[in-house]
């Protein structure tokens, strides 16, 4: 099994989580802990960069579903970026593109946040 890690950094007022490796039942709790911590700190403009994410299982998808309403209730959102085709296909099969903004690059996610705030 490949390792999984999350790198957290700030870009302007946005929190960027860079996911690396395999997000599955064994590693989903790491993402859950990180998202919960951001929400508890009232950080609700979250960009998840999936460029180095090699694999996602249903447990990982479940974490995203578990926290999206909390984030949106706070007036924020979770935007997903930089997915490779294999990972995107898993999100697409389960209808995530209708629930989440999935964009090519982090800059695109920032533009979407800015558009959302100006509406």
Rounded to two decimals, the pTM is 0.95
Does the residue 102 lie in any domain? yes
The number of distinct structural domains making up the chain is 1
The beta strands (E) that lie in the chain are given as 4-11, 14-23, 45-56, 77-81, 101-103
- Report which of 46, 30, 42, 119 is spatially closest to residue 80, judged by C-alpha positions: 46
Residue 75 lies in a domain: yes
pLDDT (tens digit per residue) in 22-35: 999 999 999 999 99
Rounded to an integer, what distance in angstroms lies between the CA atom of residue 56 and that of residue 92? 12
State which residues form the domain around 92. Answer: 4-113
Token pair for residue 36?
């919960």
118 in a structural domain: no
Report if residue 119 sits inside a domain.
no
Q: Is residue 55 part of a domain?
A: yes
* 107 falls within a domain: yes
CATH number of the domain at 108, please: 3.30.750.24
Asked whether the beta carbons of 100 and 79 are under 8 A apart, the reply is yes
Alpha-carbon distance 1 to 47, whole Å?
A: 26
Q: Using one digit for the tens of pLDDT, what is the confidence trace for 72-110?
A: 999 999 999 999 999 999 999 999 999 999 999 999 999
d(CA 101, CA 26): 26
């Amino acid at each position: 099994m490949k390792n999984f890690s999350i790198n957290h950094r700030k870009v302007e007022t946005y929190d960027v989580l860079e996911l690396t490796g395999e997000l599955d039942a064994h590693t989903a709790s790491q993402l859950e802990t990180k998202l919960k911590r951001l929400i508890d700190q009232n950080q609700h403009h979250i960009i998840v960069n999936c460029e180095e994410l090699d694999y996602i299982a249903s447990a990982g998808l479940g974490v995203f579903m578990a926290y999206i309403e909390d984030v949106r209730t706070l007036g924020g959102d979770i935007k997903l970026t930089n997915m490779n085709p294999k990972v995107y296909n898993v999100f697409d099969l389960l209808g995530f593109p209708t629930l989440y903004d999935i964009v090519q690059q982090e800059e695109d996610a920032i533009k979407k946040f800015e558009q959302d705030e100006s509406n």
